[in-house]
Amino acid sequence: MKIYNTLTKKVEEIKPREAGKINLFVCGPTVYDFIHIGNARTFVFFDAFAKYLRSTGLDVEYVQNITDIDDRIITKAIVEKRVWSEIATQFEKTFIADMAALGVTAVSRYARATEHIPQVIEQVKKLRDGNHAYQAKDGWYFDVKTFKDYGKLSGRSTEMAEDGVSRIDDGVGKRNKADFCLWKFPLSADEPAWASEDLGPGRPGWHIEDTAITEHYFGPQYDIHGGGQDLIFPHHEAEIAQQEAASGLEPFVRYWMHVAFLVQQGGKMAKSKGNFTTVHRLTEQYSKETIRQYLFSAEYRSPLEFSDEALEPFKTAQDGLKKSLRRMAVYSKRGAFDVDAPDSAEKLSAIADEISAALADNFNTASAIGLWSGLVSQANQLIDEKKFDSKAYDVFKNIADDINAILGIIPEVSQIDIPSDVAGLIRQREEKRAGLDWAGADALRKDIEAKGYTLDDTPYGPILSET
């Protein structure tokens, strides 16, 4: 498969470092609040991507960190007069619940920053011993001038990095403006700190937890690192500097993948801007399949627009799909596919090949979803023309299962237990229809609808659905 590599700015074939194995790391959330649908775009994308890689036979070890110690958590704790770790625990729980509600199941291991403090300290010591880190008044800093490749991911030089960009640590007594903090000393008794004889008491800086965690699980070099595009600079640039300076080995990561923003009225959805919709709220309103179909509807390197109405067309599409799937299941039982149509399975398989090609080409979910909709339409058309045989139905179901295992966009269509009173109404209505009593049949249809069902008349008899 091919993906766009932010490091080389090219679409490249993925070649695992070790045959058959991929180590994948994706930056996780800072757990100080509910996550929003913008964060979810990145997490749901990599969930599907990891599932796809596994479907091709690769053994994928997917690690995601959880930033459970950070300035934003500490600030919230001070404002709300709570213990910082209680806030982290609370929002880690809501994050895990949100991921489950969105069908995100591909992560092999969630790694908390606070459970990797010894690894962080070790890495900072290595950088200090290699003269890449120095002590300032409020912590240990990485000296960007000691790393000649600084800027190779984002295309910035150390001078440009000094242009006062946001989220660069404002330390006291830094050598270069672009230097970033590795180990922060506590500035007050409210700030948590871990003991370290070598470094002094402190907590990890923003960037170091990720490289400490990945070195621990993957070693100093691995295959794929992902995240949202806002992380390219300074975060991922800092990770490269830390790990390559600490180990002397390059490349730290072979392939860097970045997901474009979910935007609202043209601007990035962000907690700091206050223009966000939480996953928690959205999953109460829409099914996970609807949300995922929406998130995959744009190619991952293009922005995706969000609004309160943005998911409605996807909900409508899901309802239509449910109807089609139900119709197929009922038709199959009623013998509608006992026809002679030797070409029908082949037609569907040809579209399935195109879907596979779209996913293999930089994981183009937008194109795959378009093709899948086309495949459902093709199947419906063949059914209407009585050119859909049971082999085609088996092929259709297999394709749907394969797509669903990766994208998770196909709703479950459960069998309806038809209550006996409704079954009686359907029977009576069939009798009225047989006697050409259309007014009587319509009245019975209304009775059925009043009980929470819709009825479709088909050439193979009526099909009941729940409304």
Whether 229 and 261 have beta carbons less than 8 Å apart is answered as: yes
Question: How far is 307 from 305, CA to CA, in rounded Å?
Answer: 7
Question: How far is 112 from 216, CA to CA, in rounded Å?
Answer: 13
Q: Which is nearer to ligand AMP, 271 or 334 (CB)?
A: 271
Contact stretch for ligand AMP (CB under 6 A) within 257-265, 320-328, 338-346, 456-464: 257-265
Element (H, E) at 326: helix 312-333
Among 261, 294, 393, 453, binds ligand AMP (CB under 6 A): 261
Contact call for residue 262 and ligand AMP (CB under 6 A): yes
Contact stretch for ligand AMP (CB under 6 A) within 80-88, 254-262, 344-352, 441-449: 254-262
Q: Which is nearer to ligand AMP, 128 or 268 (CB)?
A: 268
Contact stretch for ligand AMP (CB under 6 A) within 200-208, 265-273, 279-287, 354-362: 265-273
Give the position of tokens 């709570």: 82
Question: How far is 66 from 114, CA to CA, in rounded Å?
Answer: 9
Q: Minimal CA–CA distance to 83: which of 67, 94, 69?
A: 69
Q: Which is nearer to ligand AMP, 269 or 345 (CB)?
A: 269
Contact call for residue 269 and ligand AMP (CB under 6 A): yes
Q: Minimal CA–CA distance to 326: which of 389, 456, 422, 413?
A: 413
The C-alpha R_g of the chain, in whole angstroms, comes to 27
Q: Which is nearer to ligand AMP, 27 or 348 (CB)?
A: 27
Contact call for residue 41 and ligand AMP (CB under 6 A): yes
Q: 222-228 and 262-264 as β-strands: parallel, antiparallel, unpaired?
A: unpaired
Classified as helix, coil or strand, 170 is: coil
Among 6, 39, 221, 287, binds ligand AMP (CB under 6 A): 39
CB of 268 to ligand AMP, least distance (A): 5
Contact call for residue 112 and ligand AMP (CB under 6 A): no
CB of 286 to ligand AMP, least distance (A): 18
Classified as helix, coil or strand, 329 is: helix
Using CB under 6 A as the criterion, what x/- string covers residues 270-289 for binding ligand AMP?
x-------------------
Classified as helix, coil or strand, 61 is: strand
Question: How far is 365 from 299, CA to CA, in rounded Å?
Answer: 6
Q: Minimal CA–CA distance to 29: which of 84, 75, 94?
A: 94
CB of 68 to ligand AMP, least distance (A): 12
Contact call for residue 236 and ligand AMP (CB under 6 A): no
Read off φ and ψ for residue 379, nearest 5 degrees.
-60, -45
- 129-148 binders of ligand AMP (CB under 6 A): none
- 297-356 binders of ligand AMP (CB under 6 A): none
Among 22, 24, 29, 116, binds ligand AMP (CB under 6 A): 29
Contact call for residue 227 and ligand AMP (CB under 6 A): yes
Contact stretch for ligand AMP (CB under 6 A) within 23-31, 161-169, 189-197, 383-391: 23-31
Q: Which is nearer to ligand AMP, 92 or 389 (CB)?
A: 92
Contact call for residue 230 and ligand AMP (CB under 6 A): yes
Whether 208 and 182 have beta carbons less than 8 Å apart is answered as: yes
Question: How far is 321 from 333, CA to CA, in rounded Å?
Answer: 19
Whether 181 and 175 have beta carbons less than 8 Å apart is answered as: no
Return the residue nearest ligand AMP (CB atom). 228
**CA-based angle 4:151:203, to the nearest 5?**
105
Q: Which residues bind ligand AMP (CB under 6 A)?
A: 27, 29-30, 38-39, 41-42, 227-228, 230-231, 259, 261-262, 268-270
